[in-house]
Homo-oligomer: A and B are copies of this chain.
Amino acid sequence: MAGVFHEMSAKKLGMTTIVHEDGTLAGILTDGDLRRLMERHGGAVVNMKLADCMTRNPQTILSNVLASEALTLMEKRRITSVIVVDAQRKVLGVVHLHDLWGLQLV
Contact = CB atoms under 8 A, between A and B. Distances in A.
A39 B2 CA distance: 7
Interface residues of A, number: 29
Nearest to A14: B32
> Mostly helix, strand, loop or mixed at chain A's interface?
helix
A78 interface: yes
A53 interface: no
A87 interface: no
A6 B42 CA distance: 11
Given A34-B34, A42-B2, A104 B101 contact: no
Contacts of A39: 5-6, 8-9
A93 to B, nearest CB: 17
Interface of A: 2, 5-6, 8-9, 14, 30-32, 34-36, 38-39, 42-47, 75, 78, 80, 97-98, 101-102, 104, 106
